[in-house]
Amino acid sequence: CDMDDAFSSHPSPGPVELCVGDCSPNYRTKSQQVYTFVTPSFSKVRPGSGPASGGTRLTIFGRFLDAGSSVKAFVGEGGCEFIRRSEKEIVCVTSASLTGPGSAFITVNIDRAEISNIAQSYVYVEDPTITRVDPEWTIANGNTTLAVYGTGFLTIQEPRVRVKYKGAETSNTCS
């Protein structure tokens, strides 16, 4: 059953009434459980920045973030792919910035409620760049330590190196 807006700005907690027809006492039942309206909000976003190409796991911290049935998060105009949520946090993965590097506001939609906090934003930064790889070769059996040099690596949450050679591909997690 979809709930309509509450009739007052601060409705009191109470039982849920289920009516059949005209809601007279003969056709009405009340729950033992108390139902409460809450106001979701968020107060912190971590990390505060990530690559303009997206892919950053973003955590939005707040209160009552598990209220409602559906949740969508946005960073600027782009979506943030939903991963999970609890009462105090929402985790999502940023999409690519539609406007390149720069600041973007965070918006969370829980059912029909749109939640924002002008004090909290996310900054899309320039994507990392690779300037050099050392050594430039390795043996096919692997196990060679590879040093990668460049800029912007601190924005990468889970660095991986992928190598393609003559149709073969390998992907390795870096520490």
Checking if the pLDDT of 164 tops 90, the result is no
Evaluate the CA torsion angle 132, 136, 140, 142 in order and state its sign: negative
Please state the pTM of the whole predicted model: 0.81
Checking if the pLDDT of 140 tops 80, the result is no
The rounded distance, in Å, linking the Cα atoms of 126 and 85 is 29
Q: Could you count the other beta carbons within 10 Å of the beta carbon of residue 113?
A: 13
Lookup: tokens for 160: 């991986």
Each residue of 28-65: pLDDT tens digit?
888 888 888 889 999 999 999 999 999 999 999 999 99
CA distance between the termini of the chain: 49
CA dihedral 153, 170, 95, 82 (to 10 degrees): -110
The rounded distance, in Å, linking the Cα atoms of 77 and 79 is 7
- The two beta strands, 102-110 and 49-51, are unpaired
pLDDT band at 7 (very low <50, low <70, confident <90, very high): low
Each residue of 85-137: pLDDT tens digit?
999 999 999 999 999 999 999 999 999 899 999 999 999 999 999 999 998 88
Q: Which residues are within 8 A (CB) of 41 and not within 5 positions of it... i.e. 6 or more apart?
A: 62, 63, 64, 115, 117
What pLDDT sits at residue 174? 81
| 104 in Cβ contact with 94 (< 8 Å) | no
